[in-house]
Amino acid sequence: MKVVGYIFKLLFYAAEVLVSTALILADLSPFIPPSNKLTAVPSLLALGYEWLLLAIVAIFFVALLLRKRWAWIAAGGVILLSFVPINTVVSLQKSKVPQHTTHKLKVLTYNTMMLANGNMKDTSKPLAADLLEYIKHSDTDIVCLQEVVNVKKGNGYTLEQLKQTLQYPYSYVDYKRYRGNRKYGMMVFSRYPLLDKQTIAYESTSNQSDHCLVVVDSDTILLCNNHLESIKLTNDNFDFSDPNSDKLKQKAHTILGKMLRAYTLRYRQARAVHEMLKHSHYPAIVCGDFNDTPVSYTYRTIRSSMNDAYLYAHPRSTGHTFYKGPLGIRIDYILCSPCLYPQAAEVDCVPFSDHLPLTATLVW
287, 232, 318: which is closest to 105 by C-alpha? Answer: 287
Bigger pLDDT: 238 or 74? Answer: 74
Is 305 buried (19+), middle (13-18) or exposed (0-12) by CB count in 10 A? Answer: exposed
CA distance 357 to 350: 8
Backbone phi and psi for residue 218, each to the nearest 5 degrees, phi listed first: -95, 5
pLDDT in tens, 205-229: 889 999 999 999 999 999 999 999 9
**Domains, the chain:** 2-89 (no CATH), 104-363 (3.60.10.10)
pLDDT in tens, 86-138: 999 998 888 989 988 999 999 999 999 888 776 654 445 567 888 999 999 99
User: Taking the model in full, what pTM does it have?
Assistant: 0.90
pLDDT in tens, 333-357: 999 999 999 999 999 999 899 899 9
